[in-house]
Structure formats: structure tokens, C-alpha cells
Chains A and B, each alone.
Chain A
Amino acid sequence: MIIEMIMAEAGTGDNLGNLVGGLFEEHRSAVFAYVYRLVGNREWAEELTQEAFLRVYDARARLPEVRNRRAWIYRIATNTAFNALKRWRRFLWLPWHEADVAPLGRSDSAEQVEGQTLVEQALLALAPKYRAPLLLYSHYGFSVGEVAEALGIGEGAVKMRLSRAREMFRGAYQRESCR
């Protein structure tokens, strides 16, 4: 049904381009905010959001088969952000075991992070691997299935990560509150 609707909506290759244009306008701000919270730097997040939507555009031929467009876009955005963080860590010669627990890549200074609350700070204390599912589930209202799709992992793994992320967040929030 959804596929038929998209096919009707899309029709030709150019129309798929228009469809991506509409998706960009619809999700631009939210995807930027998501990527920003993953990489922690505004300028970088703007670059990566563009890169992500270019990838969506380049893969537009697949759109008719995509069941959940929002989850698909977030999957591409997540991969783009994670790959960028990975490249950046290699650039810094950080060993992987350290990189994996590093809470954030290069971050804006405290003044630059807009209205950073205790909640934001507790979020930043989580490794991106845990921050991403928690954001998608609790901030963006994704279901477990959608989070799984957006992260390219199984639902069981999502549940485990969410459980760990929540406990980490709880601890980080308490620490931030005591400062």
C-alpha cells in the first residue's frame, strides 16, 4: 500500500528527486539536531546533515521499497555521523577501546552549546552508541522496531542498549546534579 502510494507519488526519477526534496524540508531541522547531539559540534553537524541528505538523494531509486522513510533517513544520518566520528578518532590516533567509551567527538565549548541543561549534559556523557538509541526512542518517539531500523541492529540489541543507556543516563544525571 505504502509502496503503491510512493510509486504514484514518485513516477519518474525526477519525481523521486522531488520526493527527497520534500523529505529534506520535512526532516532537515530534526536530523540536524540529532546529528548535532551525536557529534557535538554545530558546523560539523551542518556539514554531516548535508552529506546525509546527499546520500539519501543518491539512493533515491530505493525509495519505493522503503517502508519507513523516517527510519531510513535516520539510518543514513546515523551512519554518516558514526563514520565521521570514526574517521575523526582515527585522525587522532585514538585506540578503539578508548574511542568507544569517549563520550563525544570534538565538542563545542560549554558557551556554544545552546541552552545546555542538565539533561543535555547527561546525554553527552553517554557514548554515541548509547546516546543514539535513547534519543531516537525517548526524544523522537521511535518505536523499538524503528530504532532497530535506524541503527541497523536487531530489536534485541536495541532493548539491551536502551536498558544500558537508561542506567548510564541516570548515573550521569545524578553526577551532573551534584556538581
Chain B
Amino acid sequence: MKRHGEVVGLLAVYRNLDPASRALVDQHVLECPACAARQTAYAQMDQALAGLVDPRPGAALPRSLDGILHGRSSRWVPARPVPQQVRVAPKVLVAAAVLALIVVSFWIVLRVLPPTGPVLAETPSVTPTSTSLAAALTPPSAVAPDAASSAARHLASIPTPIATRGLAPLVVVAAMP
């Protein structure tokens, strides 16, 4: 039985074995039921695979080499994958979903929470999107009422497309399948 591992490998190519290796296998198989079963299974496997009916090429494959050569001179480009059923890696899907969730959360927070921070009113040169995001991240309790109302007025004066422009590409990416 000590040759079991060796024989398992030899069984896979039994047809091509030299007489000495074949004798070794034949001897081992007599005393090892696992290898005997394997030998039978492999023989059946070979028979089944040899008997497979080959699919026939269709009209798209020329019957002569000339047909291919003529095809190359006019239109040939190396065969490239045509995505018929596009499988997207699960990781990409998860990443897209997480991204979409973050973007939507920010957008909701932006709409629902009262805008805050005197920075908004005092430094209008700061880009609207970044200040809006900063405002959204500031706890409402820490904000003075008059500052909040002035920030709200400032935010209201920002046209919506500009306010969300920075987020638009993210939304597009997240909407990809």
C-alpha cells in the first residue's frame, strides 16, 4: 500500500505507461480497493469523453483558409470579447451600493438638517457644496439661532443644480449596474 500516492498519479495516464509502471499499477490495484475503483472510473471517463459528439462550426467559420485570409484583409481585427452576458464582480456591486448609500445619505442630511455655522454667512467665497457638507456634519445644538437662520437664507439662495453638482458624478457611478 505504500505506493498508493504514486499509483494514483499513474492511473491518470495509464494508457501511456511503460510496461514496468503498468505492472506496478496492476499489482497495486489488486490490493487497494480505492485504486481499483479509481481505475474503473477513469476507464469509464475516457470512454465517455472519447464518445462526446463534437459541435459543428457554423457558417461564420469559413470552409477554406482563403476565406479567412480574405476576411482579414477587409475587416479582421483580433477576436475580442463581446460582452453578451456582462457579469460584474460582486465586489464592484457592493462598492457601488455602498457609494450610492453614502451619497443618498448626504443628500438627505443636506435637505433635512438646518444648515449651520457662521462660516457660511461670513465667507461666501467658500464653495457651496463643501460648506453644505460641513454644515451637515455639524451638530445642530452647537449652533446659534441667528447664525442658523442666516445660513439657511444663504443655502436657499444657492440654485439646487449647483449645490448638488459636486455629487452628480458620484450618483452616475453609483447608478451603474
Stretch touching chain A among B46-54, B144-152, B156-164? B46-54
Q: Verify if B170 is at the interface (C-beta below 8 Å from A).
A: no
Cβ contact of B65, chosen from A20, A120, A123, A138, cutoff 8 A: A20
Q: Which B residue's beta carbon lies closest to that of A164? A: B12
Q: Are B83 and A91 in contact (CB under 8 A)?
A: yes
Q: Are A95 and B66 in contact (CB under 8 A)?
A: no
Indicate whether A166 sits within 8 Å of B45 (C-beta atoms), given known contacts A21-B65, A51-B79, A53-B65: yes
Q: Which A residue's beta carbon lies closest to that of B62? A: A50
Q: Verify if B9 is at the interface (C-beta below 8 Å from A).
A: yes
For residue A29, which residues in chain B have a CB less than 8 angstroms away from its CB?
54, 56-57
Q: Are A91 and B61 in contact (CB under 8 A)?
A: no
A92 to B88, CA, bound (A): 6
* A side interface size, CB within 8 A: 61
- Interface secondary structure of B, over-half rule: loop
Q: Verify if A67 is at the interface (C-beta below 8 Å from B).
A: no
Q: Which B residue's beta carbon lies closest to that of A161? A: B12
A137 to B41, CA, bound (A): 16
For residue A53, which residues in chain B have a CB less than 8 angstroms away from its CB?
65, 68
Q: Verify if A74 is at the interface (C-beta below 8 Å from B).
A: no
Q: Verify if A82 is at the interface (C-beta below 8 Å from B).
A: no
Indicate whether A166 sits within 8 Å of B12 (C-beta atoms), given known contacts A42-B55, A92-B87, A95-B89: yes
Cβ contact of B60, chosen from A46, A57, A106, A117, cutoff 8 A: A46
Shortest 5 CB-CB contacts between residues of A and residues of B: A33-B54, A88-B81, A47-B79, A138-B49, A163-B12
Additional A-B contacts beyond A29-B56, A159-B13, A163-B11 (12; CB < 8 A) = A21-B65, A45-B57, A46-B61, A49-B61, A84-B80, A87-B81, A93-B92, A98-B89, A106-B85, A123-B49, A163-B12, A166-B12
A-B contact pairs, 23 of them (CB 8 A): A21-B64, A28-B61, A30-B54, A33-B55, A36-B55, A48-B79, A50-B61, A50-B68, A50-B71, A51-B78, A51-B79, A57-B69, A87-B81, A92-B87, A93-B89, A119-B49, A119-B52, A144-B16, A158-B13, A159-B13, A163-B9, A163-B11, A170-B41
**B residues engaging A (CB < 8 A)?**
8-9, 11-13, 16, 41-42, 45-46, 48-50, 52-58, 60-66, 68-69, 71-72, 76, 78-89, 91-92
**A residues engaging B (CB < 8 A)?**
17, 20-21, 24-25, 28-30, 32-33, 36, 41-51, 53-54, 57, 80, 84, 87-88, 91-95, 98, 105-106, 114-115, 117, 119-120, 123, 134-135, 137-139, 141, 143-144, 158-160, 162-163, 165-166, 169-170, 173
